[in-house]
């Protein structure tokens, strides 16, 4: 049969089975199986077992469960309170006042968390009730949190970056370091938006609270010390080349355990809960990775990635047009799929095209993270929306609307890193050690 027909048939099969509600990882396995058995006439079972075993017992993946576990420990600790108490006194004077706690809090927590939904839940646990109590406009409280929490992906450590790094063979440590500047830039742009909004709508922002003296502010900032030390430990050890991403994750777990022990939030039951939840979360991702590794093999046999690359190459798109087209593609996909599935599903097909167009794979990784971030806040499927729905009881649609301005800022950031790629590539170029 014609290769084009096979490809179209497989894509439709994939979408139908996904929509039927079969677990995503199993769907990928099933489609891989169908394509191997029917179109290639190859006995698929043995290669399925070997491929999945090979991809899931790989050393590069070990960073993933450890960072997930670290996030689970911190979530059960006192981080939300610490962030709020440490940051709030400093932001009282800035137009928009405590709304900035959402943004800065997310940016800081993102530097110890690999996940955007965990960032959202941890920061929001404290800021949502506190900001409501003080009468901040609900729309901004929720919108800035939904948007800023996506920094959980862009600011390292990052689950998406690990998944992308494994799929594309780009160094995870380099991806991590490459995310730092874009992440800080995005946080600043979010804060700029809040400042401008608050200058225009002065009457909607509650008055400043009685100011603290500098000494009192510094004393309040002591709450941030454990977090800052943890960030230095994890990112510092990667940046200086002392540790690989995996080793940094292990150090992070130990650091997080130590902090919660010192803060007396670590009990036997919270320890057990944390490690069990971490194992399950990793298992959930691993099932998707298992499915995608086998589907990737099957697709390779059929030659789908090569064909798509040739086909797109024949269109003669400029790199900018290609990036615009991919952004649109991922935005549509992101309305229905979660970020990890989105990345693993498309990488096989997209990477050859990207390489052919001469786009740097490290840069492209950061680009992917940005579009996945946007997917977190696009309805109907967006994990930050789910988390916030659970926390605030607002409708998904309302939450998505409040986050829309931040969504636009993210699109602007994609353009910015396109025209100034050094934002991504400068820091990784400065890294010491093995990278």
Partner 1 sequence: MRNFLARLYDFFGGLAALFLLATLIIILINILGRQFGFFLRGADAYAGYSIAAVAFLALASTLKRGEHIRVTLIFQRLQSKSRQFLQIWCFAAGSLLCAYFSYFIWKMVWFSYQFHDISQGQDATPLWIPQTFMAMGLTILTVALTEGLVMSFRGTSDVAEKNETLSFVE
User: Among residues 191 and 375, whose Cβ is nearest to partner 1?
Assistant: 375
Binding mask 233-262 for partner 1 (x = CB under 8 A): ----------x--xx-xxx-xx--------
For residue 152, the minimal CB distance to partner 1 (Å) is: 9
H or E segment at 273? helix 268-302
User: Among residues 13 and 355, whose Cβ is nearest to partner 1?
Assistant: 13
When binding is defined by CB under 8 A, the residue of 11, 12, 40, 53 that contacts partner 1 is: 53
H or E segment at 332? helix 319-334
Q: Is 325 in contact with 317 (CB distance < 8 Å)?
A: yes
User: Among residues 337 and 359, whose Cβ is nearest to partner 1?
Assistant: 337
Cα–Cα distance for residue pair 199/211, rounded to 1 Å: 20
Which positions from 312 through 351 interact with partner 1, judged by CB under 8 A? Answer: 336-341
For residue 423, the minimal CB distance to partner 1 (Å) is: 24
For residue 111, the minimal CB distance to partner 1 (Å) is: 16
Which positions from 163 through 202 interact with partner 1, judged by CB under 8 A? Answer: none
For residue 247, the minimal CB distance to partner 1 (Å) is: 5
Joined tokens for residue 69 = 């576990």
Q: Which stretch binds partner 1 (CB under 8 A): 66-74, 304-312, 325-333, 409-417?
A: 66-74
Q: Is 378 in contact with 154 (CB distance < 8 Å)?
A: no
Cα–Cα distance for residue pair 375/382, rounded to 1 Å: 6
Q: Which stretch binds partner 1 (CB under 8 A): 60-68, 200-208, 223-231, 318-326?
A: 60-68
Nearest to residue 12, comparing CAs of 35, 37, 44? 35
Which positions from 366 through 395 interact with partner 1, judged by CB under 8 A? Answer: 376, 380-381, 383-384, 386-387, 389-390
CB neighbour class for 421 (10 Å; exposed up to 12, middle 13-18, buried from 19): middle
Nearest to residue 337, comparing CAs of 305, 380, 294? 380
Query: What Rg, from alpha-carbon coordinates, does the chain have?
Result: 22
Which positions from 273 through 312 interact with partner 1, judged by CB under 8 A? Answer: 275-276, 278-288, 290
For residue 253, the minimal CB distance to partner 1 (Å) is: 6
Cα–Cα distance for residue pair 112/230, rounded to 1 Å: 7
Which positions from 94 through 113 interact with partner 1, judged by CB under 8 A? Answer: none
User: Among residues 36 and 322, whose Cβ is nearest to partner 1?
Assistant: 36
Which positions from 5 through 24 interact with partner 1, judged by CB under 8 A? Answer: 17-24
Joined tokens for residue 203 = 């009457």
Cα–Cα distance for residue pair 32/91, rounded to 1 Å: 52
For residue 168, the minimal CB distance to partner 1 (Å) is: 19
Nearest to residue 292, comparing CAs of 340, 336, 362? 340
When binding is defined by CB under 8 A, the residue of 69, 367, 398, 407 that contacts partner 1 is: 69
Give the Cα-Cα-Cα angle 202, 376, 421 (nearest 5 degrees). Answer: 85
Nearest to residue 298, comparing CAs of 28, 61, 15? 28
Long-range CB pairs of 217-222 (<8 Å, 24+ gap) are 217/89, 217/90, 220/85, 220/86, 220/88, 220/89, 220/90, 221/86, 221/89, 221/90, 222/86
When binding is defined by CB under 8 A, the residue of 25, 165, 179, 334 that contacts partner 1 is: 25
For residue 249, the minimal CB distance to partner 1 (Å) is: 8
When binding is defined by CB under 8 A, the residue of 4, 8, 12, 56 that contacts partner 1 is: 56
User: Among residues 252 and 305, whose Cβ is nearest to partner 1?
Assistant: 252
User: Among residues 91 and 295, whose Cβ is nearest to partner 1?
Assistant: 295
User: Among residues 119 and 141, whose Cβ is nearest to partner 1?
Assistant: 119
Cα–Cα distance for residue pair 135/423, rounded to 1 Å: 37
Q: Give yes or no for residue 156 binding partner 1 (CB under 8 A).
A: no
Joined tokens for residue 213 = 């003296």
When binding is defined by CB under 8 A, the residue of 10, 83, 88, 121 that contacts partner 1 is: 121
Please give the size of the binding site for partner 1, defined by CB under 8 A.
78
Q: Which stretch binds partner 1 (CB under 8 A): 65-73, 76-84, 124-132, 326-334?
A: 65-73
């Amino acid at each position: 049969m014609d290769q084009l027909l096979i490809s179209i048939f497989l894509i439709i099969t994939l979408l139908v089975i996904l929509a039927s509600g079969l677990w995503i990882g199993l769907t990928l396995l099933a489609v891989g199986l169908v394509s191997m058995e029917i179109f290639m006439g190859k006995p698929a079972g043995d290669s399925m077992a070997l491929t999945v075993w090979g991809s899931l017992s790989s050393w590069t993946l070990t960073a993933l469960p450890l960072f997930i576990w670290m996030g689970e420990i911190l979530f059960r600790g006192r981080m939300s309170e610490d962030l709020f108490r440490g940051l709030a006194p400093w932001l009282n004077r800035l137009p928009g006042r405590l709304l900035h706690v959402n943004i800065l809090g997310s940016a800081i927590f993102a530097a110890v968390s690999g996940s955007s939904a965990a960032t959202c839940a941890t920061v929001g646990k404290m800021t949502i009730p506190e900001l409501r109590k003080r009468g901040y406009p609900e729309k901004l409280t929720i919108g800035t949190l939904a948007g800023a929490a996506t920094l959980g992906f862009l600011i390292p450590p990052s689950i998406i970056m690990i998944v992308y790094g494994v799929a594309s063979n780009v160094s995870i440590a380099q991806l991590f370091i490459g995310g730092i500047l874009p992440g800080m830039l995005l946080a600043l742009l979010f804060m700029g938006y809040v400042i401008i909004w608050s200058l225009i709508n002065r009457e909607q922002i509650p008055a400043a609270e009685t100011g603290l003296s500098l000494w009192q502010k510094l004393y309040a900032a002591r709450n941030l010390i454990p977090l800052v030390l943890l960030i230095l430990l994890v990112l510092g050890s990667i940046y200086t080349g002392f540790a690989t991403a995996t080793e940094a994750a292990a150090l992070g777990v130990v650091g997080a355990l130590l902090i919660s022990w010192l803060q007396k939030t670590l009990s036997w039951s919270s320890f057990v809960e944390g490690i069990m939840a971490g194992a399950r979360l990793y298992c959930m991702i691993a099932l998707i990775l298992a499915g995608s590794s086998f589907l990737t093999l099957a697709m390779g046999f059929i030659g789908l990635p090569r064909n798509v690359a040739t086909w797109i190459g024949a269109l003669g798109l400029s790199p900018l047009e290609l990036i615009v087209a991919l952004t649109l593609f991922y935005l549509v996909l992101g309305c229905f799929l979660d970020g990890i599935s989105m990345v693993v599903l498309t990488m096989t097909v997209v990477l050859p095209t990207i390489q052919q167009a001469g786009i740097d794979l490290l840069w492209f990784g950061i680009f992917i993270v940005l579009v996945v971030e946007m997917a977190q806040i696009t309805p109907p499927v967006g994990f930050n929306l789910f988390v916030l729905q659970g926390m605030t009881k607002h409708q998904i649609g309302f939450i998505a609307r409040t986050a829309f301005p931040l969504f636009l800022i993210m699109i602007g950031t994609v353009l910015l890193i396109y025209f100034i790629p050094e934002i991504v590539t400068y820091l990784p170029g400065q890294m010491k050690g093995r990278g």
